[in-house]
Amino acid sequence: MRKTRTALSDGRELIYYDDGAGAPEAVRASPDPRGLPPIAMRSERRHDRLLDEWVVIASHRQGRTHLPPADQCPLCPSAPGRSTEIPAPDYQVAVFENRFPALSGPGGGRCEVVCFSSDHDASYAGLGPARVRTVLAALADRTAELAGLPGVEQVYCFENRGREIGVTLTHPHGQVYALPVLTPRTRRMLDTVARHHRATGRNLFDEVRDEALADGRRVVLRGDHWSAFVPEAARWPYEVHLYPHRRVPDLAALTEPERAELAVLHPELLGRFDRLFPTPAPYISAWHQAPARTGRQLYALHLELFTTRRAADKLKYPAGTESGMGQFINDIAPERAAAALRAV
């Protein structure tokens, strides 16, 4: 893989990732002619003392680009008469600092956009194993680099797809957040896993994976290095977790054989979600990685994938109990969801 660093006109970093030779160096160094002013916005963290959780206030994001027409998409390559966030006329995978970051400022974290393809109408599921491996290599590289920045506690890689999820740009892309604090979900999992290890000497992530595989009813896919299953206490109607068979802390720690199989199984899972219903499923595909500085020896890298669609014409909304009290109520039994995903 070839990695080419450059910068946009406002100073934000842009990195191209090419599988093999890719485009000539001069093409990747195409300048950004827009003359954008430096970004002066910054977010603010506030502490909820009752829940002991941090909330990010990022009011500048109210003005971010929202569902532009395809011929005005800022993630497509630049073309004569139209300059975008990607100055090059084509690319394989591109990563740049978000122009409207949720996290910003010294010690406040960093937000990056990961463009999976220059094709506006592509999807992650349809990229093909070779391109998915390039995306995975880019995510692993960003994880390792961002985790080393001062003040970064956790690196979170994810993809949101579908207007029903709240996506504001339909071009195939994901995001990487370098967070200055541990998320509430990660902190809670770390506490639970640490308590279990003190009491039993065993790793809870390993037990959850192995018990699902031994039971079999909730397994969706099984490979040599990875397995996918519906969690026993799934919150969403269709929710799948993808675990490596070898516990590792993050994407950067995967071996080449593990990445190669992941490049096949992850798109296959997304394709199964799309085949559940007549139209493509809205989803969140979220990589849970070990914190940058604490709990790395106990935490297990895994993917959590879910759709908000519970039927062809129905969405699962986090309503009164979910949004108000954090108590999820699932309409579909995990065993039934797994059977449906295996069948498609």
If pLDDT is split at 50, 70 and 90, which confidence band does 63 have? confident
**What is the token pair recorded at 40?**
């002066």
Burial class (CB in 10 A: 0-12, 13-18, 19+), 305: buried
Answer yes or no: is pLDDT of 21 > 70. no
The pLDDT assigned to 8 comes to: 98
The answer to whether 178 touches 152, Cβ cutoff 8 Å, is yes
Distance CA 163, CA 130 (A): 28
Q: In the annotation, is 173 catalytic?
A: yes
The pLDDT assigned to 20 comes to: 77
Answer yes or no: is pLDDT of 105 > 80. no
Least confident of 93-97, 203-207, 315-319: 315-319
Distance CA 43, CA 108 (A): 7
How high does pLDDT run on average in the chain? 95
The pLDDT assigned to 22 comes to: 62
Residues, the chain, total?
A: 344
Answer yes or no: is pLDDT of 226 > 80. yes
Q: Which amino acid is at 292?
A: A
Set 47, 60, 171, 173: catalytic member: 173
Three-state secondary-structure class, residue 298: coil
If pLDDT is split at 50, 70 and 90, which confidence band does 321 have? very high
Q: pTM (2 decimals)? A: 0.96
